[in-house]
């Protein structure tokens, strides 16, 4: 049986609480009545092997702001933990890894200072660091999606490949939180162009059908957030998919 796309549930964090934004806009913040550690435990019980955590406070301020929450999540989740938001230097990356992250997602720094990120890739190896590219079309948005980088996603990946880049999370901002389906054309283009990169789709997932469509084109991973909180995708469906039932 062909390997299925891996569902990676997202937990976005502000002030230690689970939240979701629409199109990355902080004023659209919706707070959910559940703790990140509780969500992590529920996902672990469903057979999920990896979760994606975003420190939205850190993304805004430029320094990790919810490391205690990361520690609590790590104590309640048996699999791999991706952590992003506010990771602007090696010390911040070390602090996240020490707090329980298994992978660090680097966004703004990688797009604005690709030479620096290339050095980090070589230091930490491509196994621990993931490029987080938040795009409108192929243009990359940075600094909490408030500004545009001078390099697009194709140029950035090409620049980083020689330094050992292995994994890329690509979020289509125009679809993020909209529950209207993923950018299948974008991911098809990226996969065809970069055969050695493990891509994760993010943004727009509103149903299991959206996940099945990405599975059809061979995407390795997909991040799902709001659809879970809004009961568009149930924990039971995630469990059945993750356990390949």
Give the tens place of pLDDT for each residue, 15-33: 999 998 777 778 888 888 8
Distances (CA, A) of 12 to 24, 58, 151, 177: 11, 11, 26, 12
State which residues of the chain have pLDDT below 70: 1-2, 144, 177
pLDDT of residue 1: 44
Determine the pLDDT at residue 144: 67
Q: Which of 228, 218, 106, 235 is nearest to 167 (CA)?
A: 106
Query: Can you give the pLDDT at residue 2?
Result: 59
| C-alpha distance across the termini of the chain, in Å | 12
Identify the pLDDT of residue 93.
96
Q: Assess if CATH 3.30.420.40 describes domain 6-242.
A: no
Please list the active-site residues: 12, 134
């Amino acid at each position: 049986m062909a390997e299925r796309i891996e569902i990676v549930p997202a937990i976005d964090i502000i002030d230690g609480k689970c939240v979701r934004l629409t199109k990355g806009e902080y004023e659209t913040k919706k707070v959910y009545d559940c703790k990140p550690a509780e969500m992590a435990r529920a996902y672990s019980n469903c057979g999920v092997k990896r979760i994606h955590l975003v420190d939205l406070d850190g993304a805004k301020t430029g320094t990790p702001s919810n490391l205690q929450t990361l520690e609590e999540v790590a104590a309640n989740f048996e699999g791999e933990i991706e952590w992003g938001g506010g990771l602007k230097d090696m010390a911040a990356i070390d602090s996240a890894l020490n707090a329980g992250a298994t992978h660090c997602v680097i966004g703004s720094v990688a797009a604005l200072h690709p030479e620096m990120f290339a050095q980090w890739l070589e230091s930490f190896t491509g196994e621990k660091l993931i490029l987080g590219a938040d795009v409108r079309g192929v243009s990359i948005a940075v600094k909490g999606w408030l500004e545009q980088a001078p390099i697009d996603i194709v140029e950035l990946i090409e620049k980083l490949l020689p330094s050992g880049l292995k994994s890329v999370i690509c979020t289509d901002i125009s679809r993020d939180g909209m529950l209207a389906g993923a950018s299948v054309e974008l991911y098809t283009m990226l996969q065809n162009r970069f055969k050695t990169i493990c891509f994760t789709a993010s943004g727009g997932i509103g149903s299991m059908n959206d996940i099945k469509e990405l599975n059809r084109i061979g995407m390795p991973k997909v991040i799902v957030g709001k659809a879970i909180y809004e009961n568009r995708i149930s924990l039971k469906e995630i469990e059945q998919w993750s356990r390949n039932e």
